[in-house]
Structure 1
Amino acid sequence: MIVDAWAQHPTLKHAQDPIFESLRRWTKMPIPTVELPVQVTLYQMDQAGVDRSLISAWVAPRNIMISNDEVAGFVAEAPDRLVGVGSVDISKPMEAVREIRRCVNELGFKAIRVLPWLWEVPPTDRRFYPVYTACCDLGIPFCTQIGHTGPLMPSEVGRPIYLDQVALDFPELAIVAGHIGYPWTDEAIAVATKHENVYIDTSAYTVKRYPPALIEFMRGHGRSKVLFGTNYPMIMPSKALEELDELELGEDAQRLFLSGNACRIFKL
């Protein structure tokens, strides 16, 4: 079984947003001109043998690229394959809390994701704290991004060390930090090692680009701490899984990486 911990079924508004122009230099992907059917995402999952994908909403300041209701609609088309991850406007704390409750209690979502670089503030900013409180209250993970940003936005807010304070303040909160944390991967590993409920996902990176320190962590005491992710459609699932066997994780660690950790953390 394979679970993709971070993917999007993109809307045109998301795919065409100018903020992603710098990413297109790397991916060489054409900009879609029509809305993509959910079957396109399912086909890419099938090509790689991915059983389930957690697909995310995208909420930025004054800009909803993929709404929670759109994600719910995608999930409804393939409820056995797609899992909803919500997002909220942290500038409106009470609205954010109410929306998190709606996402979980009415839409059936399994997590909430907010990206510090979109808001240009670190995850220790006071506006995040109502989100953490609501996630703890509902027993769902908080997902975020660590490391440098592909879009031309400040990377400093993605320093993994910021999550150290969040985990100290909310020890019961499961935090899934995506995108490996490069160039601060050692910092990410240190925070995940220190805190029982802090995890790393490999989205936005192919296997051959995993830092050696992360691979060593996955083989050893971090085998329960790392989740497979793609950041699809930036990286196709089949591309993200190429050369997996070269990691030499061993059967148990590879099972945890590909699905076991995600199933446990997201209660799939």
Structure 2
Amino acid sequence: MDVTRLTAIDVHTHVLASVSDGERSGGEAASLAGTFGEIPELTVPELAAYYRERSMAAVVFTVDSLTRTGREPRVSNEEIAEQAAEYADTLIPFASVDPGRGAAAVRIARRLIEDHHVRGFKFHPSAQEFYPNDRMAYRLYEVIAEAGLPALFHSGQTGVGSGQRGGGGIRLKYSNPLHLDDVAVDFPDMPIVIAHPSVPWQDEALAVAGHKPQVYIDLSGWSPKYFPPQLVKQANSLLKNKVLFGSDFPALTPDRWLTDFAKLDLKDEVRPLILKENAIRLLGLGA
């Protein structure tokens, strides 16, 4: 990947459709409709074309929530990794493995790292129904840490199930970013990304990222015009080297996000750090 040609690196995008899909409807897109309205369901090649057109790179992943839903992800980790390899100038494949799979999760993660060369892992504690500091997940983290890969965790409120009866069964309590403080202590060499402005726990996220050297925050899922003021203040100062551009595409487009980001009161030298430079360092793209 030639990072010099990139205008930005989006560290948070979802693959919602398989190339083998027939009619694209339902699934995760339907569960997000209460928050984001109708959103497109794109395959890996379609995501690659979208980001190439914008001279951007993107981290791509699915979400494995087998424990809660009883269903395999609509798009497999293997499909994402194999197809992303065909667009290595643009796409960076992460994997998602539900910790509730137990010993199988460890085997799956090892295989995805060794055979499919994934570059990180995505967790969604509310969708996967686990506290990030639950020891049952630690064997899985050990595999990730051993490979020197980052782990990205959803935090705060979620659009998944929003507006549905009982919130679609989603429990927000699992996604308090303070749970990641334990993970950061116990895995000090594993990079951790706290995804999203962590409403209603923004201060907890800032505290963990400010205290633990390997903890980052991505800014996905919210238009920058809605960012809490303390998040903007620390992104502009103490955490300027630890904050990352993420859109949550296709729930929120990078075009919309960047338009609103341009209106934030940020120092000129901070903007390129957030848009690209911090991600290059985190993902080891500059080597």
Q: TM-score, normalised by structure 2?
A: 0.85
> Does 2:174 match 1:169?
no
Question: How far apart are residue 94 of structure 1 and its match?
Answer: 2.9
Question: How far apart are residue 70 of structure 1 and its match?
Answer: 1.4
Match for residue 163 of structure 2?
none
Question: How far apart are residue 220 of structure 1 and its match?
Answer: 0.4
> Does 2:199 match 1:191?
no
Q: Deviations over 1:79-133 (max 9, x none)?
A: 1101100111322333222222222222121101121111222101122111211
> Does 2:78 match 1:78?
no
Question: How far apart are residue 37 of structure 1 and its match?
Answer: 4.7
How far apart, in 2, do the equivalents of 1:265 and 1:99 lie? 24
Aligned with 1:246: secondary structure? coil
Aligned partner letter, 2:106: V
- Residue 63 of structure 2, aligned match among 55, 58, 67: 58
Does structure 2 retain, via aligned residues, the 8 Å contact 1:90–1:96? Answer: yes
> Does 2:14 match 1:8?
yes
Aligned with 1:113: secondary structure? strand
Question: How far apart are residue 23 of structure 1 and its match?
Answer: 2.3
* Structural RMSD (CA): 2.0
Match for residue 265 of structure 1?
282
Question: How far apart are residue 242 of structure 1 and its match?
Answer: 1.3
Aligned partner letter, 2:111: R
How far apart, in 2, do the equivalents of 1:130 and 1:3 lie? 30
Does structure 2 retain, via aligned residues, the 8 Å contact 1:44–1:236? Answer: no
Aligned partner letter, 2:59: L
> Does 2:227 match 1:218?
no
Question: How far apart are residue 25 of structure 1 and its match?
Answer: 2.6
- Trace 1:38-49 onto structure 2 (pairs within 5 A): 38-46=44-52, 49=54
Aligned partner letter, 2:142: T
Structure 2: segments with no counterpart, 5+ residues: 1-6, 161-166
> Does 2:158 match 1:149?
yes
Match for residue 248 of structure 1?
265
Deviation larger for 67-76 or 172-181:
67-76
How far apart, in 2, do the equivalents of 1:121 and 1:39 lie? 32
Aligned-pair identity in percent equals 29
Structure 1: segments with no counterpart, 5+ residues: none
How far apart, in 1, do the equivalents of 2:251 and 2:237 lie? 29
Q: TM-score, normalised by structure 1?
A: 0.90
